[in-house]
Amino acid sequence: MSYRRGNGSSTAARVIAVVADIMAFIIGLWILMYLLDANRGNELVDFVRHSARWLAGWSYDLFTFDAAWARVVCGYGLAAVVYLFVGHAVAGRIRH
């Protein structure tokens, strides 16, 4: 029986990276929907907005630009970048 180190950790790393990607995707989708002025009465738009707001709760309204679109792009965009960076850094660390 051969034991290869990293097989289980490779799976865990892959899961962490995928979760980080999904979180960043949801936030990015909300930014796109906001910029395209999506119908907030739509259930999908409302779900994405609430999910992104929950995920980016720590960075929402972090910046105080006069233009609302700039606050959304920077506040939510920062959260998406942090999730991608941290998620993939942790995944890389687990792999090695």
Q: Tokens 């930014």 label which residue?
A: 31
The model's pLDDT over 47-69, given as tens digits with 9 standing for 90+, comes to 999 999 999 999 888 888 889 89
pLDDT over 70, % of the chain:
92
| DSSP alpha helix (H) spans, the chain | 7-35, 43-55, 68-95
Pick out the chain residues at pLDDT < 50.
1-3
Provide the pLDDT for residue 3.
Answer: 46
Instruction: Return the closest-CA partner of residue 16 out of 92, 87, 89.
Output: 87
Check residue 18 and give its pLDDT.
96
Given the structure tokens 């892959």, which residue do they identify?
A: 14
Tell which residue, 2, 3, 4, 14, has the closest CA to residue 95.
Answer: 14
Provide the pLDDT for residue 2. 45
